[in-house]
A and B are shown apart, each in its own frame.
Chain A
């Protein structure tokens, strides 16, 4: 891996001022047709450089592709990949590479997005939210960010490779030439290949679409990036982005899921990239929800029925629905998840505080689960779910619920007194 870094240092020193050996020849007039033409030329060059050819539906594959499917079970990949994983788990590794390439490495946004147009940060591109929506200052240097993100839209679709929160590594640049956009993309590819990924296994799919972001609508080219058939990221070049007090701008947004990249390099389960305890003992959704709960809790969020807190409550409820009474025995899982996030972002509260809030909310949701179950047979069990679970159980003995049914229900829900 040392050589990888040396390579990029050389690359950076050669292109210190203009990143890719080309002066910024972005057209201030920002005419859509010129951008489109220029993009097409750059895209064709990119395809040619990488020996890509179109197959069907705009899918670009290597002329010599010999693909094979990702291994999702069994032993982890070879030793050199494990060394690479160690590097990727060090936040300074990628930061240093991109800094040496001329990018401004910036701190991630807090997951709770107080200023943006979504409640939570769900993509690295949101670091330029202020530029896009409030005519914020455009800096010359492109940006690199390692951004924890929340994707509630995947809550019902958790599976290998797909979770409800993850690390989005991305580069963002405003008012650049399409040529620079493809240059950045080429740099990403070089990094991945030098990390051990095989060039022949990359494929790309492109499309040109109208896009929206908050109250903005604009045009954009999207290039989806696949490795061995698995989408690992995308690079979009967006233009005709109207501004309030200045002319239209464009921006490049290239982002990847860090855990997916690590998964490709490690083999095994995608969820092994952030959780090692209770491996094979819990469902994939429960692992995803626990990790997301740790991020939300560590970020200082409190559960409630509305707005930001609604999301906390939802993930806790889903977690408890999955693991039931076992939720009281999984402190190590939440502690490991807390440590995972704290490696990438500055969490707002301590590990023990975070765990305490999660435990309390999980207990509340377990109480609801228990009482809902008993409500099917008994109508006098409307107790306050905010009470501690052992207190709920104690009070149930003063209702019409008989001891045998209560014991059976508690056992069925895997609760250990």
Chain B
């Protein structure tokens, strides 16, 4: 990563609008020009296409604002997208849904490298649920979602080789240990009412209403409370 560039990554646990209030507010405050791209591709289009997704994102983002306006673009087709298409945007917001479907669409269109370059060049990235999980090292933390037999589970690896598990609850501990045993890689468990903001690739701040869980490769667990920082 270019050391002179400041990077900012938001990972939300996947809860509802109320749960993600704090991380969403921090995200909106970070937007210099108030212009974002929203990618809803973890969801399949409904009978109305992606219209309800646009309703959701505009409501989620605008509820975090007082007197300001965020210009939202929604990209539902990543084919032929170029890095320069992102020139005028502050951030990419990757929404939740099926993690494997999302990663497949991003990789097959070669948007993964565009996204990584955008981030490394100072663009803000927000991932909610599936959107957060693909930012990790490997998405096999949610292998049960692989209904499409997608063989490439390598994520974007924006979190220093950590994999991410959203909607984390205590009863998923054994599932995480199993993943660590098989992959020999650490995991961050983020509950729905929590989120993690990572600055410059390694300074993590927990925001929300619950702690997050850092699982190391020796299966030790570090609990980081909200409003605390951690070095990733």
Contacts and interface: CB of A to CB of B under 8 A. Distances in A.
Nearest to A150: B51
Contacts of A305: 62, 65, 67-69
Interface stretch (B40-48, B109-117, B148-156, B207-215): B40-48
A155 interface: yes
A120 B53 CA distance: 12
Interface stretch (A29-37, A55-63, A272-280, A309-317): A309-317
A26 interface: no
A213 B47 contact: yes
B74 A119 contact: no
Interface residues of B, number: 26
B71 interface: yes
Interface string B52-93: 111100110011010111011111110000000000000000
B231 to A, nearest CB: 36
Interface string A279-312: 0000000000000000000000000011100110
A318 B71 CA distance: 9
Contact of B50 (A125, A153, A214): A153
A151 interface: yes
Contacts of A236: 47
A211 interface: yes
Contact of B47 (A211, A314, A318): A211
Given A119-B55, A155-B74, A156-B74, A214 B62 contact: no
A118 B63 CA distance: 17
A314 B72 CA distance: 8
A215 to B, nearest CB: 10
Contact of B51 (A125, A152, A210, A307): A152
A125 B46 CA distance: 12
A212 interface: yes
A117 B52 contact: yes
B63 A314 contact: no
Given A153-B76, A314-B72, A317-B69, A213 B48 contact: yes
B49 A151 contact: yes
Interface residues of A, number: 31
Nearest to A153: B50
Nearest to B50: A153
A313 B49 contact: no
A214 B48 CA distance: 9
A318 B69 CA distance: 12
Given A153-B74, A156-B75, A305-B67, A311 B58 contact: yes
Nearest to A212: B46
A306 B63 contact: yes
A123 interface: yes
Contacts of B49: 122, 151, 153
Interface in B182-211: none
A151 B46 contact: no
Given A123-B47, A305-B62, A156 B54 contact: no
**Which of B55, B63, B72, B74 lies at the interface centre, i.e. has the most chain A CB atoms within 10 A of its CB?**
B55
Interface of A: 117-120, 122-123, 125-126, 150-153, 155-157, 210-214, 236, 253, 305-307, 310-311, 313-314, 317-318
Smallest CB-CB A-B distances: 4 pairs? A213-B47, A122-B51, A122-B48, A306-B62
